[in-house]
Amino acid sequence: MAAFPGGLVWLASYPKSGNTWMRILLANLLSARDEPADINNLSEPQTLMGRWRFADDMLVDPDLLDSRELGVMRPIHCDFAAQDVSHPFFCKTHDQFWSPEGELTLGASARRVLYIIRDPRDVAISFSYHAGLSIDDTITQMVDRNASSTGRAVLPCFMGDWGTHVVGWASQPLIPVMVVRYESMHANTVSCLRSIVDFLGGQADEMEIRRAVAHGSFDELQRQEARKGFREARPGQERFFRTGQAGGWREVLKPHQLRRIEDHFADIMTAYGYEIADRSQAD
């Protein structure tokens, strides 16, 4: 049976980069069941991001704290929650690793970090559908160094811009980190998941990995969502698991949208293997 050492593992990413898919693959790997894991009953879903968890652990309602006070207490909360965790605790986050002031946003007590990166041109399309925004407005958010989000059930999330988000998590020296390209997950999910198991110090045989990949396929996720919905979808959102494509930006983005993303993030994109489009065709 597949197993991992105990401890907190951050599943970090900019929104709509494959974080939920990663959680589902790991949930299926750990379940060791013949049927796919229920997408609405994943283990530890966003636990440290929830307002109720923060209030229970820290004995204070986060709504009573201003942004500075919450920023000070969140790393303390995460470090507290990471103590003496005997089971593998995979926790999703879209927060940056560092605050604008250079402080830790979530503490440094996690055992490992899996950072999922996706081509920002594809992120813009998927994030647009998810947030109900135009692609132009979505790109405006992706290049905003002060971008954040909040919700009734979760704590405020400071995302910043796409590039700073990537560099902050991928280059931080405090927690061992593996950068996982969404495109690699898409192209060879079995090989990618096997590398992740090794990085996390886990154990899983070939059959367990292949079963988890089959149970976490997009066809299966779409089937479950069509039948019973997905609780992490936003109100009014038609589908959470939309296409799962890699490279769809080539048929969707307009030249000015492509240029705007690449002008902001070309160096980081190139560093992680994303080729910059031919500008002669874009113009």
d(CA 90, CA 31): 14
d(CA 152, CA 263): 35
| pLDDT above 70: residue 281 | no
Strands of the chain, DSSP E: 7-13, 88-93, 112-117, 148-149, 157-158, 177-181
Q: Are strands 157-158 and 148-149 parallel, antiparallel or unpaired?
A: antiparallel
Residue ranges of domains in the chain? 7-282
Report pTM.
0.89
d(CA 222, CA 220): 5
In tens, the pLDDT along 217-268 reads 777 777 877 777 666 666 555 656 656 677 889 889 999 999 999 999 999 9
Q: How far is residue 55 from each of residues 10, 47, 106, 110, 153, measured CA to CA in Å?
A: 21, 12, 16, 21, 12
Count of CB atoms situated within 10 Å of the CB of 25: 23
What does the block give as tokens for 41? Answer: 């009953």
- Please give the DSSP secondary-structure letter assigned to residue 203: B
In tens, the pLDDT along 152-200 reads 788 999 999 999 999 999 999 999 999 999 999 989 999 999 999 999 9
Which among 65, 62, 24, 26 has a CA at the least distance from the CA of 41? 24
In the beta sheet, which residues pair with residue 91?
A: 10
CATH 3.40.50.300 fits 7-282, yes or no: yes
Proportion of the chain above pLDDT 90, given as a percent: 53
